[in-house]
Structure formats: C-alpha cells, structure tokens
Structure 1
Amino acid sequence: MECKISLEQLAESQHGQVKYASAFVDEHIEDIYIADGHLHIKHNSPNGNEAIIERVGRLVERFSKGDFGFKENILFEHKVDTPYEGDIIAELVERKAIKILEPGLFIFREPFSSLMRFFDYSFVTKIAKRFEGMQEEHYPAVIHAETLNKTNHFTSFPEHIHFLTHLREDLDVIESFSQSIREAGGWNKDHTLELDRNMPKPSFTMNPSTCYHCYEGLQDETLEGEGIVVTAIAKCHRFESKNHSDFGRLLDFSMREIIFVGKPDFVKENRLKSIEYLKELAVEWNVDSMMEIANDPFFTNDFQVKASFQRNQEMKYELRLTIPHVKKSIACSSVNFHSNTFGNAFNIKMGKRNAVTGCVGFGIERWAFAFLAQYGLDEQQWPKAFREQYHAWQEKAL
C-alpha cells in the first residue's frame, strides 16, 4: 500500500525533519520519500492507510505550530569545486573497503579504517590539545538507564534508545531457552522471547552520546578553578528506523567529543574557540562545508518549544559537509551549549553554583564518508595539506 500526505502547511526546510520522524509512526513502513510537496509512504501495515495518515498528520501538526520557520542561519561557508561526484558507498562496497551488514551497520576495512583513525588522531592533536589542561578519558559503550534518565534522553529522543537485558539468573529459564533454540534449529528473528518471564526489565541501554559518561563521572563533585576540558571517543548507538538508509546515518558509530565543564564564561569562551578551530580545519583540508545554527530532532510533543529555544539561544551549531552525489550535506561535527542542564542533573558544582557544560562532537565515520564523497579514493586528488598529513601520520602509525 502507499499513501501520501500534503506538506503544504510546513516550511520546505521542515520537510526533512517530518520525513525523518515519520519513519517511526509504524513498524511496517517500507519506504518514505518526498515528491511534489507530499510525503509518500509505502507500507504493509495491517492498520491501513488511515492510521498512517492520522499519525503522520499528528507529526505535521506538531512541526507546524508557532512561527518557527527553521530559517537558515549560516555562520561560515567554504565553497569548493571538489573533483569527485560518484557514489562513494557503492565504490567502497565494490572494493570491499566496507561491508554492509544491514542499513546503518557496517564493517570498515582498509583504507577506510585507516582514514577513521587518522581523522580521530587529527581531531585530538589539531583541536582537543589546543585547550589548556585537556584530559583524556575512556568510556564504556553502555550506560545505566538511571544515568540516561538524568539527561532527559528518554523524554527527548525515546525513539533512538537501544535497551539491553539478559536471561534471568534462573537455571530453568536458561536451560529452557537453550533447548528451544536447539529444537528450532538455531536462532531466527521470529523466535519468541517472553521478555517478562525470561528477561528482567533493562537496567542499561547502549550509550547514545559520548559526553553523558563525563557528567556521570563528575556527579556530586565540586570542581576547582574555572573548569575542566575532557576528550573521549566512544561507540554510540541510535536506532533511526528507515532513516538508516540515508547517507551516513549509522546504527553504531564512533563519536569523538571535547567536553567543557565549568563556569559560564569558561565554557562559552572555549566553545567559541572550538568554532574557530573547526572553521580553520575545514579551510585547511579544503572540504566543501558550511556551519549553521541547528536544533536536535526532538521527537516529543514539546518539539517546538525545545527546538525553538535551542535555535533562539544558538545552543547548537553544526558543521555540514556536502555530499555531491546526493546533492545534500550531512552534519559531521556539532558545537553545543547546554547551560546548567547537566550541572543541575548531576549536581556538579563550581563553588556554590552548579556547573554549565558544552561539547564539540566529531562523527568519525561521517567525516571519512563525506571527505571521500568529495575527493574519492585516488589520493592524488586529495587536497595537498590533507594528503601530506595523512602520509605523515601513516609513517608514525606503522
């Protein structure tokens, strides 16, 4: 079945966010696309077209409330006539440099895996180490649900969460499960798991964002001086439904962050520095890019309030790199200011007041995909500065 929903009451700049959110309205959706001012949805839902149209209509209503507009606010632009316009993912698959297990879940091989390590090395040496007193930390890939609750992730981005659980510590349950798999001839996705009976309610989820562990680690502490700068890289996980078929939108990805925790001026000044460092790097590597004011794709009913507040207060900037083949851009880095949201949630003190926080994020796979989407795999076509730095790093890495 296919249904279509008019988007005429929305600004064109909102169409992409509605398309993104609509992937979550029904688990039987097979494809979503925008054409002629309408959202087209192909599905095999037993609920029929009417239920799909009603649910998407609720999203359209949510996005259309108020004078929001999603006007572009470009802070920086570096236009480059890059040499490559091919389908880089198809080329990487053909060369067996990546293996797609399913949409959004990849195995990365050489040379892509080396490029990922080089990008991370560069973000640490070229940006993170420019902040005085920077400390490096290492975080787990899972996070306690109670910690995630303090970040308001459950109420802002519930659709992204990967919950973790396990078989109950019960010999009968464990043996029965094992025997049922054996009798079925092995695991398959249709195998019935009685979660309430066989598995406890989850206490952990996969970590959706690197910086959350930083705040968890500082809970109930009082910081000295003006504040601290921490950098870490972590595997992050976000379920994004059919959106995983979009370029660069992964189920499992590597996120390097530089995190600022401290007094307001300390965090704001370092955030401004990080913006300048990002702009310098985009020019140095000669990537076709732009930086703009942005908002997170909040999913809940108070979307307009949260997104509008983010934009009006300029709490989120994104550095977007162009993908010539699809004639779009993707966010590869973000610069965020959280005010005292996390300082309050985790009782992180600066003297008698709660700390404020901010962070800079680098999507490692996205940077590598976007760079290759502009310059291809022929290193002779790469910008001279990037090529020289990459080769110098390779010599050190061997």
Structure 2
Amino acid sequence: MECKISLERLSESQHGQVKYASAFVDEHIQEISLEDGHLRIVHTSPNGDEAIRERVERLIERFSKGDFGFKENVLFRNEVSVPYNGDIIRELVESKSIKVLEPGLFIFREPFSSLMRFLDYSFVTKIANRFQVKEESYPAVIHSETLNKTNHFTSFPEHIHFLTHLREDLDVIESFSDSIRATGGWKDELPLDLNATMPKPKFTMNPSTCYHCYEGLQGETLEGDGIVVTAVAKCHRFESKNHTDFGRLLDFSMREIIFVGKPDFVKENRLKSIEYIKELAVEWEVDSLLEIANDPFFTNDFQVKASFQRNQEMKYELRLTIPYLDKSIACSSVNFHSNTFGNAFDIKVGKRAAVTGCVGFGIERWAFAFLAQYGMNEADWPASFREQYHAWQQKSL
C-alpha cells in the first residue's frame, strides 16, 4: 500500500525532520520519501492507510506548533571544487572495502579501516591535544539509570538498544536452549515470552560517548576552572528506515572532546574548538559548512526544545557535502549543555553545578564524506591530507 501526506503546514526546512520521525510511526513501513511537498510512504501495515495518516498528522502537529521555522544560519562555508561525483558506497562495496550486513551496519576493511584510524588520530593530535586533555576509555554499554539521568529516554526514546539476558534460572535456560534446538536454530518467528525468560534491562547500548564522562565524574567537585577529557567509543542508535540514508549508522565510532567546569572555561574552549574545526576543514580542503542546528527530539515539546537550542546557539554542526546526492551530512557537532549534566550527576566546581560542552567527530561519517568528495584514488586527494595520511602510515608500521 502507498499513501501520500501533504506537508503544506510545515516550512520546507522542516520536511526532513518530519520524514525522519515518520519512519517510526509503524513497523510495517517499507519505504519513505519526500516528493513535491508530500511525504510518500509505502507500507504493509494491517492498520491501513488511515492509521498511518493519523500518526503522521500527529507528528506534523507536533512540528508545526508555535511560530518557529528552521531557517538556515550558516556561520562558515568552505567551498571547494571537488574531483569526484560517484556513488562512493557502491564503489566501496564493489571493491570489498566495506561489507554491508544490513542498512546501517557495516564491516570495514582496508583501506577504509586505515582511513578511519588516521582520522581519529588526526582529531586527537590536531584538535584535542591543543587543550590540556586527559584520555579516557569507555565501555560500549551504559547503565539504564545513567541514561535516565541524561533524559535520553524522554528526548530520544526511538534510538535506544536495550540489553538483557536470560534469567538466572536453570529451567528457563534449559527451556530456551531446547526450543532453539527443536526449531533448528534461531528464527525470527521463534516464540519468546520475554517477561518470563528475561529480566528488565539493566543496561543499554551507549548512544553517546560523553555520557560516560559525566557518569565517571558523578558526585565529584572539580578543582580549578575545569577539565578537558577525550575518548572514542562505539555508539549505537536505532533509526529505523533512516538507516538507508547516507551516513546514518546503527553502530558507529564517535570521538569526543568534553569540557566540564566553570561557564567561562567551557564556553571559551568551545569557541576555540569551533575555530580549530574550521581550520581543519580549510587545511584538508573539504567542501563544508558550519551551521546552527538542533537535535531531532522525539517529544511532544519538540518545538520548545529545538527552538531553545537554536536561539541559544547551543549546537553547531559541520556538514560535509556529498556531491552525488547533492546534499550534506553532519560529520562534527559542537554542543553546549549549560548545567544540565552538572545537576543531573551532581558534578560541582566550587559550590556551583558544573557546566558541560562537547565536540563530536563521527569517524565513519568523516571517512564516507571525504571519499564521497575525493574518491578512492589517493592521487586525487588534497596534497595536505595525502601527505599527512602517508606520514601516519609510515609512523604506524
């Protein structure tokens, strides 16, 4: 079945956000796209078109509340005439540099895997190390209670991958094993009574690197003006049919630089990081822009939260152009959280709650976007990038 829903109540700049959110309205949606001011949805839902329409209309109402439009606000633009315009994903698959397990889930092989390691090395040496930074290492899972303190359950509930296990009960474990054996292995239609066999999840997959930093500082009082921490972690976000979009991964690597301390300390370091990112974009000759942005909140108060973020300039994104798609994707973000996490985790500087900010680099996104502009032939890469990459390769031998 197919239905088309008018988006005339929304500004054009909001169409992408409602398309993203609409992917979650029904698990039977097979395809979703924007066409001439309409949302086109192909589905096999037993609830029928009307149920799909009603749910999407609820989202449109949510996005249209208030006098607020997502106007473009570009703070920096680095326009570069790049040499490549091909379908880089197809080329990477055909060359077996990546293996697609399912939309948004990849195995990365050489040379793509080396490019990822080089990019992460560069973000540390070129940007993180310009601060008095401390390196930390985080797990890929996070306590549900920790995630609750970040308000992730209420702001981005659609993203969450819950983790659980079989109950510590011999009968449950043996019954589960016997049922798998009897059906000839794991099958999608295997009947499982989750309440009977598995406890309430204590952990989820971690959706953001910086959460572990705040968890690790819980109840502490920082000395001086504050601290700067860097870490790279595997992050996980379920994004439904949006995983078919370029760069939207189910499992991805996020390098972050995290500022925790007094307001001026965090704000000043955040501004410095913006300048460092702009310098890097120019040095590496990536076609890009830096703009004010907002998170894709999945809540009834979306407009309030998104408007506040934009008006207070709490989030910037560096977007790299994807020439063959004639679009751009966010590869880095620079965020200011005020004292939200300082209060949530009881982190203090003196007697006041600490404020926080972070800079994120999506490693896979940077690699995909760079190759989308310059291709796999290293001779076509910008001289500065190519020389640094080769120097890193020699150093890594």
Q: Read off the aligned partner of 2:311 and give its amino acid letter.
A: N
CA distance in 1, matches of 2:34, 2:334: 29
CA distance in 2, matches of 1:256, 1:331: 14
Q: Give yes or no for the alignment of 1:342 onto 2:369.
A: no
CA distance in 1, matches of 2:64, 2:297: 14
Deviations for 1:145-201, whole angstroms, at most 9, x for unmatched residues? 000000000000000000000000000100110010001000011111111000001
Q: Give yes or no for the alignment of 1:83 onto 2:83.
A: yes
Deviations for 1:231-263, whole angstroms, at most 9, x for unmatched residues? 000000000000000000000000000000000
Counterpart mapping for 1:68-147 below 5 A: 68-132=68-132, 134-147=133-146
Aligned to 2:308: 309
Q: Read off the aligned partner of 2:59 and give its amino acid letter.
A: L
298-307 or 185-194: bigger deviation: 185-194
CA RMSD, Structure 1 to Structure 2 (Å): 0.4
Q: Read off the aligned partner of 2:342 and give its amino acid letter.
A: G
Aligned to 1:267: 266
Deviations for 1:358-389, whole angstroms, at most 9, x for unmatched residues? 00000000000000000000000000000000
Q: Read off the aligned partner of 2:47 and give its amino acid letter.
A: N
- SS of the counterpart of 2:295? coil
Deviations for 1:202-238, whole angstroms, at most 9, x for unmatched residues? 0100000000000000000000000000000000000
How many equivalent pairs are there? 397
Task: Give the deviation of 1:39 after TM superposition.
Answer: 0.3
TM-score normalised by L of structure 1: 0.99
Task: Give the deviation of 1:36 after TM superposition.
Answer: 1.3
Aligned to 2:176: 177
Aligned to 2:202: 203
- SS of the counterpart of 1:59? helix
Aligned to 1:320: 319
Aligned to 1:164: 163
Q: Read off the aligned partner of 2:336 and give its amino acid letter.
A: F
Query: Please, which runs of 5 or more residues in structure 1 have no aligned partner?
Result: none
Aligned to 2:38: 38
CA distance in 1, matches of 2:222, 2:39: 50
CA distance in 2, matches of 1:207, 1:56: 29
Q: Read off the aligned partner of 1:21 and give its amino acid letter.
A: A
Aligned to 2:390: 391
CA distance in 1, matches of 2:371, 2:170: 51
Q: Give yes or no for the alignment of 1:27 onto 2:27.
A: yes
Q: Read off the aligned partner of 1:82 and give its amino acid letter.
A: V
Aligned to 1:213: 212
Q: Give yes or no for the alignment of 1:354 onto 2:353.
A: yes
CA distance in 2, matches of 1:332, 1:104: 16
TM-score normalised by L of structure 2: 1.00
Counterpart mapping for 1:226-375 below 5 A: 226-375=225-374
Q: Read off the aligned partner of 2:109 and give its amino acid letter.
A: R
Q: Read off the aligned partner of 1:193 and give its amino acid letter.
A: L
- SS of the counterpart of 2:300? coil
